[in-house]
Amino acid sequence: NAKKAGRNTWRVFRPGMDELIEKRRALEADIERGLPRGEFLLYLQPRVAAPSGTISGYEALLRWNHPVRGMIQPGDFIPVAEVSGKIIALGQFVLEEACRLLQGLEERLHVSVNVSPVQFRHPDFVRDIQDLLRRSTIDPSRLELEITESVLIEDDDHATAVLDQLKTLGLRIALDDFGTGYSSLSYLSRYPFDVIKIDRSFVDALGREDNATAIVRSIIDLGTALGLHIVAEGVETLDQARYLADAGCDELQGYLLGRPAAPELAIRQIDRDVARALRQAALSRNQV
Ligand code: C2E
Ligand code: MG
Ligand code: MG
Ligand code: MG
């Protein structure tokens, strides 16, 4: 009968379910254990001013140096950290570490950090940042928070209030992965962004898809008209860098200009790669 069939079905599925839940619990426990042991660290990826080619700052990207599994990318643990709430402690670590790194960098350089929607909606978020800034000596305008549209869809009034308070504290706010959400354009006028980061899917399509150049150019023109600072993500080729710089992009970020790396390495790597890439770009521009 149905009752019996249901029970049998349950028996069939249970081992798989248990295994998934068990894996997630183990990962959660590992995060909790690993954070105080210093297993988490920030990599830095350079952001380069266009067209001068000088480094203007870095994006901080979280990595987990797991004792058994080695270096783990954020895509493999942030979703679990978000569901379990561990993202709050991780996010706090990222902010503190970013402030610490900023203290050791030239004053003209900025660092951006990614903020999870779960972190953004936490009632203590603004207060924790306020405390952090009070304890730190850095100029708050050197710290940029990158948020995605997923933060904004949920609860407009709350998001507006949080963003206004962050602006009052002097932080810069960037809209990350611009163009991938549903209402990107209306968000630009409704919320107090300083920066938009053009999603790398658009950069990737440059020169390959018919409408890509028109889309990228209109994002840059609109953003510039609204007084926003425009950053392009995922710049991998010199052709892309040249096009974006000529179209009026303010900053470039991507493997061409430097991969995310441990802070000491990030700073060394850039000098070589960026100098070469942008010197070439400038040369070819002069030849046209
Ligand atoms: P995102 O904020 O859009 O970061 C850019 C991602 O693109 C990074 O991946 C970076 O390594 C990668 N990338 C940079 N340049 C290129 C390029 O030229 N080509 C390609 N194909 N990829 C490039 P990563 O480090 O794996 O981070 C993935 C995502 O994880 C980030 O996307 C961000 O949403 C999230 N994330 C990273 N760190 C943190 C963090 O500290 N907190 C939170 N909440 N999320 C984080
Ligand atoms: Mg980002
Ligand atoms: Mg992005
Ligand atoms: Mg992203």
What pLDDT does 100 receive? 96
- Chunked into runs of 10 residues, the chain (288 residues) has average pLDDT values of 49 69 91 98 95 91 96 96 96 98 94 97 97 97 95 81 97 94 80 96 93 94 96 94 93 93 80 59 54
Decide: 255 in ligand 1 pocket, CB within 6 A: yes
**Which residue type sits at 12?**
V
| 3-class SS of residue 251 | strand
- CA dist 40 and 124 (Å) reads 22
ipTM of the complex: 0.97
- CA dist 43 and 49 (Å) reads 20
What pLDDT does 186 receive? 82
Decide: 48 in ligand 1 pocket, CB within 6 A: no
In which residue are the tokens 């206004």 written? Answer: 164
- CA dist 203 and 235 (Å) reads 7
Q: Of all protein residues, whose CA lies closest to atom 37 belonging to ligand 1?
A: 61
What pLDDT does 207 receive? 87
- CA dist 141 and 253 (Å) reads 20
- Ligand 3 center–CA 186 separation, angstroms: 19
> How many CB atoms sit inside 10 A of residue 256's CB?
22
- CA dist 256 and 35 (Å) reads 32
Q: Of all protein residues, whose CA lies closest to atom 15 belonging to ligand 1?
A: 254
- CA dist 253 and 241 (Å) reads 9
- The preferred substitution site among 31, 42, 61, 200 for testing ligand 1, maximizing ligand atoms within 8 Å of CB, is 61
Q: Of all protein residues, whose CA lies closest to atom 9 belonging to ligand 1?
A: 61
**Which residue type sits at 260?**
P
- CA dist 79 and 223 (Å) reads 30
Q: Locate all alpha helices (DSSP H) within 35-86, ordered by sequence.
A: 78-84
- Ligand 1 center–CA 62 separation, angstroms: 8
Handedness of CA 184, 188, 193, 198 (dihedral sign): positive
- CA dist 158 and 109 (Å) reads 31
What pLDDT does 288 receive? 39
